[in-house]
């Protein structure tokens, strides 16, 4: 009976818009029309309004404009009898609801700036996180792009009890979904508080995001979805149809409601349906089964709690393979960000407290037995709570297709694969690895052999095509660990030398990366040995391995062809490929230039470089820096300029690693052009950078580069550069 839903939703929308009017009038009185309005640290203003209407809300007066649009959109209430058609009007009411809620939340940020906890996780005092800023969007967006997160579940209300809340959140986490929680139930309870009470770690790292207590916080989920379309889909603000269809086709989100569905919830549900997000309710509310606006059903109700998540995935048309690994712990990417706090630790290995090392090495086929897992030395049963052990993890692989170059790729997986287990925490890699095992994991029956089981199951699942057999040995006796540390360090050294020596000239094949095309359909990355993917996640070797594993997958070999220009980094084969892959949009591509046909960007770049004309150089900023930059824009605004497959001379997205590549902006003079970057980025890449700078003959270059402590405008940093005799100032004019 969608009439009931439409009637209630339209009623709810009227109330929410009315509330927004009231808030607006008060705010106008109190702060005046010129007072700035913004969600924290975002280039997308109030994102639903900006995306759908193309209107940037910058000051309180602008809210008046939005509310006028809401009034125009709001249909009359649905009559009991002889009613006029309501589906279209009800969907409009849903949109008006989102617009109004963004206004309400924006005003809250002015009225009560400390209401929401900034950052990724709740604090002791503040549970609610509010709008995700662009740092979170970019970071988490990558997971949506590479498939580690297929979508999100927006949860409204509270489960009937804490146990149910816990179970459902785990089921959603197991399916790799984000969980966006908002709105209290009619008796004032919230799902977020239930999880907190159950001692579940909530926040962005575990994908359980407490948006807000009020129903209006639901709009943060819509805002996230809208920004995904804008930043990764490259859709222009105001192109509402494309934004909504993008979400319908590509963002697998849905809403789960618990308990009594209020008129305001219905109004939000109608808003969600605009995005193609269906609603699954645990109460016997009316259903809307005919398809059309969503891919399948629109509202499905009265679903028992144990079936809700499964049903939601089915209704949304989502296929998720749940990672099944033969260990007694719940397992999935959602647990990657889960911490094991000091008080919860049963066993600790590495992390400076004991020796620990992990490595992957190839052996001959007859020297190993697939699936064999050995623990040499004390295991969980042999120790007591709070003990520490040294640890060496040796993963042995063999197979016809196995190459030494694939070892580091497999090895790098250990970190997140171990971390995916609930109750285990893994930090670092190689010989600085650090593992914590929680008490609850031990209670569930965890033993060290389970680490081996995880690695065997998952590496086989993901990389099974490049090796045939794999076994894992875990050593926990000091003398064994010492020995393996020596072996591992030898391997690391060989490997580093091999990779660092590899140049673009050495190879005939580059690789494309279209992993992001599910989200940024017009973008294509070209990955070369000296230029990693701009997300920082995919090196040339990774792409090559990925192509081995899945020859028709997102990483395709590109024949370089004839070299056109060695300084710009142009090759005939690459140009042909880019022309085809960009569907004729891009004819040429320079791998090493920021000004001349620079590469397009999907939106998941680690850093963005921009020309600083006055300083005759280039600045770069990474996504963790949310202050102003000498380009006159924050990272978020820059990202809006270059993301979504756009080509913007003067701007280019890149990885952190690329900065210390010999090919970094070679066409413009390379490293010596770099005049500004955030201080923390300097520190992060210092070691590699200084090595490269020494090669260039300016070992102290990094300290001649300005950062935010020097200034955030070109005028401010110029005297510093002069004083330090920065090489860029005496180079040929950049433009």
Partner 1 sequence: MVEKKKASVDTASQALFEEAVNQGIRTAFQRYEQQQPQCGYGTLGLCCRHCAMGPCNIDPFGKNGPDRGVCGADADTIAARHFDRMIAAGAAAHSDHGRGVVEVFLAAAKGEAEGYEIKDEQKLLQLALDFDVEIGERDIKDIAIEVGEKALAQWGQQEGEVVMLKRAPLKRQKIWRDLGIWPRGVDREIVEIMHRTHIGVDEDPVNLIMQGARAALGDGWGGSMIATEIQDILFGTPVPVLAQANLGVLKEKEVNVVIHGHEPVLSEMIVAVAGSKEMLDYAKSKGAEGINLGGICCTANEILMRHGLPIAGDFLQQELALVTGAVDAMVVDLQCIMPGLTEVAQCFDTELISTEKRANIRGTTRILFEEDNAMESAKAIVKKACDAFEKRKGKKVHIPNEKTDLVAGFSHETIDYLLGGVFRSSYRPLNDNIINGRIRGIAGVVGCCTPKVTHNDYHVAMVKHLIKNNVIVLQTGCSAVACAKEGLMLPESAAEFAGDGLAEVCETVGIPPVLHMGSCVDNSRILMAAAAVVKEGGLGDDISDLPVAGAAPEWMSEKAISIGHYFVASGVYTVFSATWPTMGARKLTDFLFNGIEEKLGGKWDYVNDPIEAADKMIAHIDEKRAALGILEKKKERVLMDMAMRRELDAG
| Residues in touch with partner 1 (CB under 8 A) | 1-3, 6, 52, 73, 78, 81-92, 94-95, 147, 150, 240-242, 244, 249-250, 252, 274, 288-293, 296, 298, 313-314, 317-321, 514-515, 517-518, 521-522, 553-554, 583
When the beta carbons of 246 and 540 are compared against partner 1, the nearer one is: 246
| Neighbouring C-beta atoms of residue 489, cutoff 10 Å | 14
Contact 201, 274 (CB under 8 A): no
When the beta carbons of 298 and 426 are compared against partner 1, the nearer one is: 298
- C-alpha closest to that of 97 among 266, 318, 243: 266
- Least separation in angstroms between CB 79 and partner 1: 8
Give the neighbor-by-neighbor strand order of the sheet with 525-527. Answer: 525-527, 509-513, 557-559
When the beta carbons of 150 and 203 are compared against partner 1, the nearer one is: 150
Contact 183, 215 (CB under 8 A): yes
- Least separation in angstroms between CB 296 and partner 1: 6
- C-alpha closest to that of 600 among 236, 243, 234, 140: 234
- C-alpha closest to that of 54 among 224, 229, 271, 239: 239
On the 0-12 / 13-18 / 19+ scale of CB atoms within 10 A, 551 is: exposed
- Least separation in angstroms between CB 51 and partner 1: 11
- Least separation in angstroms between CB 7 and partner 1: 10
When the beta carbons of 312 and 360 are compared against partner 1, the nearer one is: 312
DSSP string, 560-621: --SEEETTTTEEHHHHHHHHHHTTTS-----TT-SSSSPPP--S--SEEEEEEGGGTEEEEE
When the beta carbons of 234 and 669 are compared against partner 1, the nearer one is: 234
Residues in the chain: 735
When the beta carbons of 33 and 88 are compared against partner 1, the nearer one is: 88
| Neighbouring C-beta atoms of residue 218, cutoff 10 Å | 30
Q: How is residue 604 written in tokens?
A: 């998941």
When the beta carbons of 260 and 291 are compared against partner 1, the nearer one is: 291
Contact 91, 274 (CB under 8 A): yes
When the beta carbons of 286 and 371 are compared against partner 1, the nearer one is: 286
Contact 630, 620 (CB under 8 A): no
Q: Which helix (H) or strand (E) segment is 735 a member of? A: none
Q: How far is CA 580 from CA 5, 305, 512, 575, in A?
A: 47, 48, 12, 9
- Least separation in angstroms between CB 604 and partner 1: 15
- Least separation in angstroms between CB 495 and partner 1: 30
When the beta carbons of 44 and 277 are compared against partner 1, the nearer one is: 277
Cα 158 from Cα 164, distance rounded (Å): 10
- C-alpha closest to that of 137 among 663, 604, 621, 509: 604
- C-alpha closest to that of 654 among 610, 688, 718, 710: 610
When the beta carbons of 260 and 550 are compared against partner 1, the nearer one is: 550
Q: How far is CA 615 from CA 54, 441, 673, 706, 723, in A?
A: 34, 55, 9, 11, 13
- Least separation in angstroms between CB 240 and partner 1: 5
When the beta carbons of 292 and 386 are compared against partner 1, the nearer one is: 292
Provide the Cα torsion 84, 85, 89, 94; round to 10°: 110
Provide the Cα torsion 226, 228, 233, 237; round to 10°: 40
- Least separation in angstroms between CB 274 and partner 1: 6
When the beta carbons of 6 and 425 are compared against partner 1, the nearer one is: 6
3-state SS assignment for residue 672? helix
Cα 661 from Cα 445, distance rounded (Å): 47
What secondary structure, in 3-state letters, does 468-510 show? Answer: CEEEEEEECCHHHHHHHHHHHHHHHHHHHHHHHCCCHHHCCEE
- C-alpha closest to that of 603 among 657, 533, 526, 529: 533
Cα 499 from Cα 545, distance rounded (Å): 14
- Least separation in angstroms between CB 17 and partner 1: 15
- Least separation in angstroms between CB 584 and partner 1: 12
When the beta carbons of 164 and 601 are compared against partner 1, the nearer one is: 601
When the beta carbons of 259 and 278 are compared against partner 1, the nearer one is: 278
- Least separation in angstroms between CB 291 and partner 1: 5
Cα 441 from Cα 426, distance rounded (Å): 14
- Least separation in angstroms between CB 646 and partner 1: 14
Q: How far is CA 397 from CA 356, 476, 483, in A?
A: 20, 21, 19
- Least separation in angstroms between CB 169 and partner 1: 22
| Neighbouring C-beta atoms of residue 345, cutoff 10 Å | 17
- Least separation in angstroms between CB 239 and partner 1: 11
When the beta carbons of 1 and 694 are compared against partner 1, the nearer one is: 1
Cα 188 from Cα 158, distance rounded (Å): 9
- Least separation in angstroms between CB 106 and partner 1: 21
- Least separation in angstroms between CB 321 and partner 1: 7
Q: How is residue 405 written in tokens?
A: 């170059």
When the beta carbons of 4 and 404 are compared against partner 1, the nearer one is: 4
């Amino acid at each position: 009976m969608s009439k009931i839903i439409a009637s209630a939703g339209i009623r709810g929308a009227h109330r929410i818009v009315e509330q927004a009017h009231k808030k607006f009038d008060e705010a106008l009185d109190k702060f005046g029309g010129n007072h700035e309005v913004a969600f924290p640290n975002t280039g997308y203003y109030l994102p639903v309004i900006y995306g759908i209407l193309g209107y940037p809300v910058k000051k309180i007066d602008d809210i008046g404009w939005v509310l006028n649009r809401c009034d125009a959109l709001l249909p009359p209430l649905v009559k009991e009898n002889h009613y006029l058609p309501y589906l279209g009007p009800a969907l409009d009411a849903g949109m008006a609801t989102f617009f109004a809620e963004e206004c309400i939340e924006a005003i809250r940020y002015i009225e009560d700036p400390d209401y929401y906890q900034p950052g990724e996780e709740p604090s002791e005092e503040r549970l609610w996180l509010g709008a995700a800023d662009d740092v979170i969007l970019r970071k988490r967006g990558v997971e949506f792009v590479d498939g580690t997160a297929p979508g999100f579940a927006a949860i409204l209300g509270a489960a009937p009890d804490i146990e149910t809340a816990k179970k459902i959140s785990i089921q959603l986490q197991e399916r790799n979904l984000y969980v966006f929680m908002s709105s209290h139930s009619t008796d004032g309870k919230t799902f977020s508080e239930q999880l907190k009470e159950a001692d579940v770690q909530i926040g962005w790292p575990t994908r359980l995001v407490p948006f807000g207590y009020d129903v209006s916080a639901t709009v943060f989920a819509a805002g996230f979805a809208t920004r995904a379309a804008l930043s990764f889909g490259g859709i222009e603000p105001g192109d509402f149809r494309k934004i909504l269809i993008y979400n319908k086709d590509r963002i697998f989100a849905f809403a789960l409601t618990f308990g009594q569905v209020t008129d305001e919830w219905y109004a939000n549900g109608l808003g969600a349906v605009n995005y193609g997000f269906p609603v699954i309710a645990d109460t016997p509310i009316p259903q809307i089964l005919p398809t059309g606006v969503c891919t399948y059903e629109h509202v499905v109700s009265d679903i028992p709690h144990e079936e809700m998540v499964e049903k939601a995935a089915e209704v949304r048309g989502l296929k998720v393979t749940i990672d099944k690994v033969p260990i007694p712990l719940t397992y999935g990417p959602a647990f990657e960000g889960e911490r094991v706090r000091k008080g919860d630790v049963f066993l600790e290995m590495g992390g400076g407290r004991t020796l620990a090392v992990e490595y992957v090495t190839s052996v001959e086929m007859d020297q190993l037995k697939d699936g064999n897992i050995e623990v040499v030395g004390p295991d969980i049963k042999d120790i007591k709570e709070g003990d520490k052990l040294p640890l060496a993890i040796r993963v042995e692989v063999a197979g016809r297709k196995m190459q030494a170059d694939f070892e580091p790729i497999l090895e790098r997986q250990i970190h997140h694969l171990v971390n995916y287990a609930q109750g285990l925490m893994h930090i670092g890699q190689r010989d600085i690895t650090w593992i914590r095992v929680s008490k609850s994991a031990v209670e569930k029956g965890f033993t060290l052999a389970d680490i081996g089981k995880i690695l065997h199951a998952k590496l086989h699942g993901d990389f099974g095509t490049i090796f045939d057999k794999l076994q894992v040995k875990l050593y926990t006796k000091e003398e064994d660990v010492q020995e393996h540390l020596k072996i591992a360090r030898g391997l690391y050294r060989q490997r580093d030398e091999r990779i660092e020596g590899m140049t673009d000239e050495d190879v005939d094949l580059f690789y494309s990366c279209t992993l992001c095309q599910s989200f940024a359909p017009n973008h294509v990355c070209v990955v070369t040995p000296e230029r990693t993917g701009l997300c920082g996640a995919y090196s040339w070797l990774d792409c090559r391995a990925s192509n081995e594993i899945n020859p028709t997958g997102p990483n395709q070999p590109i024949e370089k062809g004839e070299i056109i220009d060695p300084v710009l980094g142009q090759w005939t084969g690459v140009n042909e490929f880019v022309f085809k892959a960009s569907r004729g949009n891009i004819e040429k591509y320079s791998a090493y230039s920021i000004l001349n046909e620079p590469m397009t960007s999907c939106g998941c770049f680690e850093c963005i470089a921009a020309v600083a004309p006055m300083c005759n150089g280039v600045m770069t900023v990474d996504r963790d820096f949310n202050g102003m930059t000498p380009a006159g824009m924050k990272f978020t605004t820059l990202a809006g300029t270059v993301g979504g497959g756009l080509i913007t001379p003067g701007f280019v997205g890149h990885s952190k690693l690329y900065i210390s590549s010999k090919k970094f902006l070679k066409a413009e003079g390379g490293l010596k052009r770099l005049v500004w970057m955030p201080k923390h980025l300097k520190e992060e890449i210092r070691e590699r950078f200084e090595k490269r700078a020494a090669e260039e003959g300016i070992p102290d270059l990094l300290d001649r580069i300005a950062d935010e402590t020097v200034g955030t405008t070109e005028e401010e940093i110029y005297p510093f550069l002069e004083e330090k005799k920065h090489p860029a100032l005496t180079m040929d004019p950049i433009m």
